[in-house]
A and B are shown apart, each in its own frame.
Chain A
Amino acid sequence: MEENKKLELKKLAVNVRKGVIEGTFNAKSGHPGGSLSIADIVTYLYFSKMNVDPAKPDDENRDRFVLSKGHTAPALYAALAHKGFFPVDLIKTLRKPDSILQGHPSMRYTPGVDMSTGSLGQGISVACGMALAGKLKGKDYKVYTILGDGEIEEGQVWEAAMFAGNRKLDNLVAVVDYNNLQIDGSLDEVNSPYPIKEKFEAFNWNVIEINGHCFCDIEDAFNKADECKGKPTCIVAKTVKGKGVSFMEDKCDWHGSAPNAEQYEIAMTELDKAMAELEV
C-alpha cells in the first residue's frame, strides 16, 4: 500500500474514532469498545474498497454492507457521515428521539444503511440473501458483513455459514472482529467459539487471519477475498476492543458504556494528538 494512501486512511480512521466518542458521549450510552475495534476495517471498506455513492444510496449495483454486530453502529455512522451520506454534525444526535441515527442500524432511518440489524446473528443471514440475489441477477456487486467474535456464539451464524459455503457465495466477505471480549468477560470464559478459523473452514469458507488495525493486512485480505472463487471469505481480524483510546483498550467494561465529560475530554485529546502526529 502506498504511504500516502495509508496515511489518508489512518486520518480517516481517527475521524471515525472521534465520531464514535462524540456520538456515545452525547447519547450518554452506546457501545464504544467494539465500535473502536472495527474502526479501521470500516474505514477501509468505505474509503478504499466498497463501490458506494452517497448521491445514489439505493443504486442496485452498489456493494452492500451489513453490520451484523449492530451495536457498533457509531463506527458505521461516523464512516457514513464522513463519506457524505449525511452531515457529520448529526453524529451528535445519536440515539436521540428525532435523530436519523438509531441505537442500532435501521435502513429506514439512515441513508447508506443497507440493512437494519442489532439482534446478533441475523445480519450474516441477510448478507447471504443479498449475495445470493447478486448471483441470481448476474450482478458483480459484493456484500460485506462484520460479526463480533462473541456474536458467533449465536447458532444462526452457523446456519448462515453453512448456507453460504454450500451455495459457494464468493461475493460475500464476513469479517469477524476478534477482540476476545464480550459483555460478561473474555470469550473463552463465557462460551468459547474457538477455534474460529477451523470452524469457518469446516463450513467451506476461505479463511484469512489478519491484524485488524493494519491497513496493509486489511487491504491484502480483501484483495485475496476478491481472488477467491467458489467460496465465501471469512477474515478473522485480530483487534483490540477500545482501540485508539488508551483507557478503553482491552477493557470489556467499555463494551456498552459511554464516556463521561472528563473521559470524553481525555479521549478526544488523545485522538486529536494522534491526528496531529499524522499531519506532521
Chain B
Amino acid sequence: MADVIKCATRDAYGAALKDLGCRDDILVLDADLAKATKTITFKKEFPEKFIDCGIAEGNMMGIAAGLASTGYTVFASSFAMFAAGRAFEQVRNSIAYPKLNVKIGATHAGISVGEDGASHQCCEDIALMRSVPNMVIINPADDIEAKQAVFAAAEHDGPVYMRFGRLAVPRINAEDYKFELGKGVELKDGKDVTIVATGLMVNEALIAAETLKAEGIDARVINIHTIKPIDRDILVKAAKETGVIVTAEEHSVIGGLGGAVAEVLAEEYPVPVVRLGVEDTFGKSGPALELLKIYGLDAENIVLKAKKAVELKNKLAK
C-alpha cells in the first residue's frame, strides 16, 4: 500500500491563492499571519496584490469590503478565532449584509491547533457564520478539496467563509476530484447507519466505517464540505434509507454540522441524529493528534456513536 499523502488544508489555501493570482480582480489580505495562514505563498508571487493590514482584524474586514465594493474579489485571511470571532460583527455588517465579494480564509480552526491552547482553538466559528444571512461556509476534508473549494469560492458571487486546519491531514480525494459547492459527497454506501462528517473527521469516518463493517454494521459515509447551504437532499435520502445519522466534526456540538443536519431532518424526515464533536467545553494545550483523541474526535469514537445510533434506531423501531 502506497504511503498516504498528508497535507494541511491551509497549505492548499496558499497554493490555490497563488494559482488565482494571475486574475486581475484578486487581492489577498492578511492580519500579520501570512506565514501561518500560508498567504505568504501568494505574497511571494504577487507582492503588489497582497495587503498586510496588521493586527487589526475588524479593520481588515472593512478594508476587504471597501475593496470588494469597487469590483475586486478579496480574500481576507486570519485564524478562525479572529476572522469569525473577533471580527464577527464587521463580517456581518460590512461584508454579509451588503453581500460583497469577500472570501474569508480562516485557518487554524478547531482543537487541532494544538499547543497554542484554548484561546486559539476556535470551535464556534461554524455556529457563528451559519447564523449570518448571505454567508456560504466550506469546511474541506483534505488538501485536494480545499484547493478546489478556494477556486469555487472565487467564482461564487458573495461572501464565503472557508475553514482550514493547521494540522497535516491524510489526502482522501483523487487528483481528478471535482468539487461542487453545496453538494454533499457519498463516499461509501451503506444501509444501517449514515456517518455525516466534515473536515478532518471525514477520513476518520471512513476508517470507522471499515471497523463497523468488520462488526457487521453497514455504514454509509457522507462528506459535507459545504455546511451552508447544506445539501438537504443527500441528508433526507440517507435518513430514509438508513434510518439514523451520526454527525462528526471538529467543532462544538452546538451549532455546527450536527446542528445543521438535525435542523434539516427534524423538519423533513425525523430520524435520530447522534452528534460527535467538541462537547460544550474549551480546549487545552497539547499535540494536535493527542488532543483529537482526548476530545473524542477520532474513528474510535465515531464507531461508538454509530453503535449507539443503531441501538437507538432499533429501540425506536420496536
Contacts and interface: CB of A to CB of B under 8 A. Distances in A.
A163 B56 contact: yes
A60 B25 CA distance: 14
B90 A125 contact: yes
B280 to A, nearest CB: 29
B69 A159 contact: no
B90 A116 contact: no
B70 A130 contact: yes
B63 A107 contact: no
A269 to B, nearest CB: 38
A52 to B, nearest CB: 15
Interface string A137-164: 1000000000000000001100110110
A177 interface: no
Contacts of B58: 121-122, 125, 155-156, 159
A26 interface: no
A132 B56 contact: no
Given A106-B98, A125-B90, A163 B59 contact: yes
Contact of A129 (B64, B89, B98, B99): B64
Interface in A78-121: 106-108, 114-119, 121
Contacts of B59: 125, 128, 156, 159-160, 163
A61 B291 CA distance: 53
B93 A130 contact: no
Instruction: Enumerate the 4 nearest inter-chain pairs by beta-carbon distance, A residue then B residue, closest first.
Output: A129-B66, A125-B62, A159-B59, A159-B56
B56 A162 contact: yes
Nearest to B56: A159
B67 interface: yes
A119 to B, nearest CB: 5
A133 B62 contact: no
A154 to B, nearest CB: 9
A125 B61 contact: yes
B93 A128 contact: no
Interface of A is mostly: helix
Contacts of B63: 125-126, 128-129, 132, 163
A199 B171 CA distance: 52
Interface string B47-66: 00001011010110111111
B56 A114 contact: no
Contacts of B98: 106-108, 115-116
Given A122-B58, A122-B93, 12 more contacts: A115-B65, A115-B98, A124-B62, A125-B58, A126-B63, A129-B66, A130-B67, A131-B66, A133-B67, A159-B56, A163-B53, A163-B54
A234 interface: no
B70 A133 contact: yes
Contacts of A118: 93
Interface in B1-60: 27, 51, 53-54, 56, 58-59
Nearest to A119: B93
Contacts of B61: 125
